[in-house]
Amino acid sequence: MQDDPLKNTPLAANPNTPPLSRRRLLQQASGLGAAMLTGSGAAAQSVIEADANAAFSDLSGDEELAIMLADAEPGQLQPGAVGFLKLPGLNENFLKPRELFEQVVGKIISELDTGDFTYQWAEDEVSPDYRHLEEPVYYGFFPVDHDTLTLAAKRNSFELEDDVILFGLRGCRLLPSSPTKAFVRERYPNHQDYRCVLGVWDRVKKEVVAVQASTVPNGRYIYAQQRMKATGTCSNLMPTGLHHYIVGPHRASSNAPQPGAFRQNRSFNTLRSHGRSDSRQAFTIHEYWDLRKNLWVFDNIHAGSFDQRPRDGLYYFSSAGCQTVPGGYTRGSRIPERRWKLFREMAGLTTPSSYRAGWISPDDGKKFKYMLLTARELRLAYRDPGDHPEWHRLRLGSKSESVRAVQTGIGLSGPDGEFGPNTQRAYLQWQLDKFGWADGIVTPKIARDHFGVTI
């Protein structure tokens, strides 16, 4: 294993060292973001490659297969779950046959040198993330700070009571940042490398810090999902919205557990790609929404595990739908490393030197809200500050009287004004019945024309 060029930086500090101050962590994150993403020339690229290879290039094929199998969705129905709604041709149970998935993923591993696992991000007109905006991509940079995040939350009627909020921005690159704000530039995800951002927003101190990350599944899982079609649940695209998480172990029973990760703590319905196995475009509004009740896909926030395959030079991450941060854990002791370690500490978690039985960390049980939006929506909040009703939206996690009107309009009994899992599921089905497609987002036009309400 080659030397780690970052070994003398605070990232590689002794795990027993007390956590640094939040401001110091902010400074570290901004500096590492600059070195990782915007350094100049071959020297910066060598730092990127060495940082990935130092921990992950010696993974064997069996180890990679074990990680991918563990990160695939469990495929088990929760109590009270039912089959898809009004989607003919799909298996009602939709369970993942473990043997089939092992065969599919095993074939993927064996075909890494020759297989094509690249996928084109859906065109804006058919993208569940961008269609509702009708706003083109802009490749200039813009800040993500306390004010833009506050405005974005307000426009989506998100109630944020917590002092610290986790956030994800889909489709962007992180640029050199300051201790109080991040700077990003739009870039479409490609299901290959880290083209999103995850961050921590301290609403009391009005500080924002972020790391390059991913909020979409790896292309190899999409390939497996499309091969399995309606016979298995392998991967999904997590919908934007306000989600709930709780600290706990990711894949605790596997041979590569991730203690102290952020585990999904509230159910939601999600989009799956069941196109042809040779299709290069995934996750359009015309694909299949998994509309089972009480659906748990376990889209956790965890370390990316393996960040680069030296044989092709592309960055990869182990995610079937989870939100992933570059980095991993030491072998054996399972201590968080690199940017994953930094992200956890930015969120206020400790870096323990040992765990209780079952990979239980001292921070297990802590709860967080996670606001997932597209970078484009944050850019619009920065570009058009103030009250712009055309950018108001209702989606998973919204809470308002307008949500109550939508609930009544789609026939939900006992409307409570909260856009929770049941409302999300019912609204998705309403969109499918009404339009033949769905994105789960209520725009001002839909609210006015179909529910007679202003949002």
pLDDT tens for residues 158-177? 999 999 999 999 999 999 88
Q: Which of 335, 334, 316 is nearest to 326 (CA)?
A: 316
Q: What's the domain count of the chain?
A: 2
Least confident of 51-65, 118-132, 232-246, 330-344: 51-65
How confident is the model over 426-444, as a mean pLDDT? 97
96 and 169, same structural domain? yes
348 and 275, same structural domain? yes
Mean pLDDT over the full length of the chain: 78
- b or e along 159-181 (b: 16 or more beta carbons within 10 Å of the residue's beta carbon)? ebeeebbbbbbbbbbbbebebbb
Whole-model pTM: value is 0.81
For residue 245, the enclosing domain spans: 10-379
Q: What angle do CA 429, 432, 433 make, to 5 degrees?
A: 85
372 and 416, same structural domain? no
How confident is the model over 126-150, as a mean pLDDT? 95
Q: What is the pLDDT of residue 277?
A: 47
184 and 283, same structural domain? yes
221 and 120, same structural domain? yes
Comparing 395 with 70, the larger pLDDT belongs to 395
Residue 61 lies in a domain: yes
334 and 206, same structural domain? yes
265 and 215, same structural domain? yes
355 and 242, same structural domain? yes
Distance between CA 113 and CA 312 in Å, rounded? Answer: 8
Choose the final residue of a domain: 379, 413, 438.
379
Distance between CA 197 and CA 194 in Å, rounded? Answer: 8
pLDDT tens for residues 299-358? 999 999 765 554 444 557 889 899 999 998 998 899 999 899 999 999 999 999 899 888
Choose the final residue of a domain: 316, 351, 379.
379
pLDDT at 454 over 90: yes
Distance between CA 324 and CA 305 in Å, rounded? Answer: 9
Least confident of 94-108, 189-203, 361-375: 94-108
Choose the final residue of a domain: 379, 406, 435.
379
Task: Note the Cα 430 to chain centre separation in Å.
Answer: 25
Provide the 3-class DSSP secondary structure of residue 37. helix
Residue 92 lies in a domain: yes
pLDDT at 270 over 60: yes
Q: What is the pLDDT of residue 127?
A: 95
CATH number at residue 397: 1.10.101.10
Residues 299 and 74: beta-carbon distance below 8 Å: no
Residues 172 and 375: beta-carbon distance below 8 Å: yes
314 and 356, same structural domain? yes
pLDDT tens for residues 195-216? 999 999 999 999 999 999 999 9
Instruction: Give the residue carrying structure tokens 């989607």.
Output: 87
Residue 325 lies in a domain: yes
Q: What is the pLDDT of residue 111?
A: 55
430 and 337, same structural domain? no
Could you write out the three-class secondary structure of 180-244?
CCEEEEECCCCCCCCCEEEEEEECCCCEEEEEEEECCCCHHHHHHHHHHHHHCCCCCECCCEEEE
Residue 404 lies in a domain: yes
151 and 96, same structural domain? yes
pLDDT at 260 over 60: yes
pLDDT tens for residues 32-75? 443 333 322 333 233 333 333 333 434 555 665 566 666 766 54
Least confident of 115-119, 243-247, 397-401: 115-119
Q: What is the pLDDT of residue 266?
A: 96
